[in-house]
Amino acid sequence: MIILAFADIHGDASCVHRVFKQEQHADVALLLGDITNFGNQDAADKIVAAIEQHGVAVLGVHGNCDYAGVEQYLRLRSMSLHGRCIVRNGMAFFGAGFSLPCPGRTPGEIPDARFAEYLAQAAADMPDGLPSVMVTHEPPFDTCADLAFTDEHVGSSAIRSFIEQRQPLACFCGHIHEGAGLDRIGDTIIVNPGPLRRGRYGWACIEEGTIETDIRNF
């Protein structure tokens, strides 16, 4: 299975097309939140349509810069991983949208304890024995993925705790633009590809229960 992961698109569909000029094959595109720039269903549909025209399935979560209509749209299209698990080709994808409270007010913010609730809800739907991939907008605490420009770790302790306990193959996340990079929590690879609109995206290949990851540029 080939996975592409797009974080912080902020409504720029042209970036999607630039990725597919150099990626010849993908099975799933993961949307890691901030799909729109304070948009609703119509804005989300433009991004999803840009991906689907390349014949790639879409799964994902909303971010703090997405209004509630974005998650509703993803759910109606059976694409939302927020508090849910969806199985594709023997792989369990699950996750949680939103972010922790930000310095400025945005529409999709929750306290840390809510991440634990949503992830537990998603895990309850997960079939036994399947490898899993976690998708969040908020990065886990104390990794390169949550290191802000202030040199502070600003990620979610609840997300980190869940990863420590469940050890999915990977956690794809975004939100902290300057936190782009690869890290590990135990056996779980943490991937914050950085904002797609800045030319960065995640790539992964999963084969026989192992995962290879990369952050690529266009």
Element (H, E) at 114: helix 112-124
Query: Is it the case that residue 24 has pLDDT exceeding 90?
Result: no
Where does 130-198 have alpha helices with state H?
157-166
pLDDT of amino acid 104: 86
Res. 8 pLDDT band, cuts 50 70 90:
very high
Predicted TM-score (pTM) of this structure: 0.98
Identity (one letter) of the amino acid at 32?
Answer: L
CATH architecture of 2-217: 4-Layer Sandwich (3.60)
**So where are the chain's domains?**
2-217
pLDDT tens per residue, range 174-188: 999 999 999 999 999
pLDDT tens per residue, range 42-94: 999 999 999 999 999 999 999 999 999 999 999 999 999 999 999 999 999 99
Q: Which two tokens stand for residue 61?
A: 């979560």
- Coil, strand or helix at 132: strand
Phi-psi region of 54 (alpha: psi -120 to 50; beta: other; left: phi over 0): alpha
Please list, residue by residue across 48-57, b when 16 or more beta carbons sit within 10 angstroms of its beta carbon and e when fewer do.
bebbeebebe
Q: Which residues pair with 136 in a beta bridge?
A: 96
